[in-house]
Structure 1
Amino acid sequence: MLQIGDELSCFSVVFVLTLFASRSAVCSSLFTASLYVFLVIFRYPQVPADRAKQVLRPTRLGSGGVSVVAHRGAGHDAPENTLAAIREARLNGATGVELDLEFTADGVPVVMRDETVDRTTNGSGLLSVLRFSEVSRLDASAKHRLRERFHGERVPTLQEAVKECIRQQLTVFFDVKGHPDEAVAVLREMYRTNPVLYNSSIVCSFEPKVIYKMRQADPEVVTALTHRPWRLSQQEDGTPRFSASWKYHWLQLLDVLLDWAHHHLLWDLCGVSAFLVHRSVISPDYVKYWAERGVELIGWTVNTAVEKQYYQDVLNASYLTDSLREDCEAAY
């Protein structure tokens, strides 16, 4: 009944907006009906709930336990997105790790957050112009606060990182920010060669296109949409992305439309099992909203002991964190 009510509400909004724009009841009806038919034909169903739960709430947590996911391997505790970070995360009690997928100039999938190597290594330049032979020589601990302890840590390939996660029995959150076709092809092969990932990993992205392509390539993969309010118009620290007023306000309008689409259309079209959202918008009602739709809500990035206790005891919701040891500032 909830799903039917959601759809009626969603398509009523579409009809009213189209009617307002077109001033034609016929056009509004045809557009709304076409959108409904499109969703019915092209939507992907969620993976079975028991398998999604095995990924998002592993049985080793016990009944009611929440997953604690090391964001970029918990980059405050060890150099982010490295094998050392994966090992440290396991030692510090994480149930999973989030890994960022990028590609070198020669097409090698590596684990790195940025499009350049400047922020985290002793090198400089775009990944898109650096070959893996060059990237592999860089020190991934060079800019880290604990660089003396982790000196010489390298940028791992995706394959190396996945093997280490499997070895450490950690759930993998693959974060895909770009290169949708290349990323989907690589991940599809990764699942084929490592079937254990079907029950121990999830593919996440801000881009619905990535998630839809992943479900298209392999409908058995557990997926999640990632969302932050005002992402198009504002940086992660809240500052405008563009100085031009007209551009900023235009992107704010697009942000409103994207927010509505995420909550009413895109999650259903892609058949996601989880929704990763910025901690600033999470509340008990918001957790309930997604739970009623069979979707697990996961917060990011939760970095203080008080917040973590709130997620554990009040929200009963899983979360991503930059540190499993102490309070820290959020990593952008």
Structure 2
Amino acid sequence: MGASSSRRRRDDYYPPPHHYPPPPPPHHHHHPPPPPPPHHRPPPPPPPSSYYYHPHPPPPHAYHGPWHPAPAPPPQQPQPTALTGPPPEFVEHQQAQKVKNYVNLHKDTIRLVPDGADPERRLVAFTFDAITDGSVTIYYFATEGKDCSFSSVYPELQTPTKIPFEKGLAQRFIQPSGSGVDLGFFSLDELSSSSGEVFPLVVYAEAYPSPEEGGPSVNATRAQITLAVLEKHNNDLQVKVMKQILWIDGVRYELQEIFGLVNSTEADVADADADDTGKECVICLSEPRDTAVMPCRHLCLCSECAKTLRFQSNKCPICRQPVEKLMEIKVRSPGP
């Protein structure tokens, strides 16, 4: 029994550590900090945070009964998420209305030439096509009035006169000598700007169709109006066309170029026979192009792909500009 007790003491015995921590410095015991100097001020009030303040008393503790686990809800199938973005804006799809133009001025050929009788004056010259007889009227510094009529803001400068022409293709027109204007009286800013809807140069080409060609309203006006400004290049005035207007049976149309539209001239027909590439829809690459994207005016789609594009995108496939509407243009294919 004695041996058992001695063994138990040996089991509970732990040897002392090899080193003890150093004692604290002497000033901790022999030099306590001096007391603060006495003062006779009242003790400061406790900080506001020590007070308990709450605008509303705490709610009473609710009694909770024994806890019973609620039945687990049935598993739900995950809903498929659409990978597409927000739907594009709706794009209007229109069909172009066919309008017969009786006279057409080639706007890239219009220019000013000096008058042989008076070199200070300038005469207007250009190339045009006409399927009927008609007349040309030249206006300087003119503004548009009612029913697409024009009048000069300087009536003393020139008296507009109608110059007749006969029907024919690729005709050359030149203003009669003596009917031009000396433009040296005007500043370059006046000649090169169209501010206030006053255009320095207006060419009014009017057609006179015969009763067989005119249709139901023979007496209605059919004209093409070219509005231009004059810019100085290499010490000479050059014509810059701003826009062209078509006035047919009391309706005003503003002409715009369509990029990709094939002309039906004989030269283009010969080129089409030699090489017919580049005229297919840029989406399906099989159907001919017959729909233009507005306002960029790229003729690059077929009618079926244009209908699909209305609900999938609002960007032009060529220039990526926003699409406001689609214009379907039925182009007659040349015969064999």
Same fold (TM over 0.5): no
TM-score (norm: length of structure 1): 0.28
More helix as a share of residues: 1
User: Quick check: which one's strand share is greater?
Assistant: 2
The structure, 1 or 2, with the larger RCO (C-alpha pairs under 8 Å, 6+ apart) is 1
TM-score computed with the length of structure 2 as normaliser = 0.28
